[in-house]
């Protein structure tokens, strides 16, 4: 056995014996989960709005997005359009090359889940095509169901969509783009979106 093979064998053995048990996801969300998520997202430079009644989401988005866009281009995914209806946003062009989205001021997408312990939102690769969109846009707005706020990353990993793992990628977005490499000074929007706003949507009363 070569040194490389021996090293890889040790890594595989260590991983197989140390993998933590994943916690089951509780379908009913808790308002404390939203409060924790909002606090952690704020600490990361983003903001959470809600929980909003389903009927209030479009109005809140129509109030927020024009201020962010400042007259610039706004695009929304198909899933987001189902929640928002018509407004100051355009459908995300199907199969658009990344260069065609360089002028996008605001992108509105649906997050698959949110994590209370770190303020991250899980973004399914099937939602953002091309997947460079959350990086190219100036401002990112994500819609997330309140019932999909999980307490920690163990619960989040247990809830990853099977199809996303098999055929696409899955990204956790924790706040806007940022860096503090230069003299420890925090700069937002260094490598991507300058702001992240998460609109958290309550379940309909009939659910």
The DSSP-derived string for 125-159 is TTTSSSTTHHHHSSEEEEEEEGGGEESSHHHHHHT
CATH number of 30-201: 3.40.50.10420
- Domain coordinates of the chain in residue numbers? 30-201
Decide: pTM greater than 0.75.
yes
Q: Contact, 25 vs 158, CB < 8 A?
A: yes
CA–CA separation, 177 and 141 (whole Å): 13
* 149 CB neighbour count, 10 Å cutoff: 28
Q: What is the pLDDT along the chain (207 residues), one digit of tens a residue?
A: 788 888 888 887 776 555 555 554 444 445 578 899 999 999 888 999 989 998 899 999 999 999 999 889 999 998 999 999 888 898 987 777 888 888 899 999 999 999 999 999 998 877 877 788 888 889 999 999 999 999 999 888 888 766 655 656 788 888 888 777 767 777 776 677 889 999 999 876 554
């Amino acid at each position: 056995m070569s040194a490389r093979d021996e090293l890889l064998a040790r890594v595989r053995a260590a991983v197989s014996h140390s993998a933590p048990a994943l916690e089951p996801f509780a379908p009913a969300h808790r308002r404390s989960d939203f409060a924790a998520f909002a606090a952690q997202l704020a600490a990361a430079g983003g903001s959470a709005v809600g929980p909003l009644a389903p009927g209030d989401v479009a109005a809140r988005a129509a109030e927020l997005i024009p201020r962010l866009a400042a007259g610039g281009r706004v695009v929304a995914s198909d899933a987001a359009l189902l929640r928002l209806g018509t407004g100051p946003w355009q459908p995300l062009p199907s199969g658009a090359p990344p260069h065609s989205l360089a002028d996008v001021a605001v992108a509105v997408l649906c997050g698959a889940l949110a994590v209370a312990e770190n303020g991250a939102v899980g973004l399914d690769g099937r939602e953002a095509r091309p997947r460079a969109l959350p990086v190219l846009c100036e401002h990112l707005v994500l819609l997330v169901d309140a019932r999909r706020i999980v307490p920690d990353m163990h619960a989040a990993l247990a809830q990853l969509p099977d199809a996303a793992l098999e055929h696409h990628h899955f990204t956790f977005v924790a706040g806007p783009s940022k860096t503090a490499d230069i003299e420890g000074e925090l700069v937002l929007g260094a490598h991507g979106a300058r702001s992240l706003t998460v609109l958290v949507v309550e379940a309909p009363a009939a659910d």
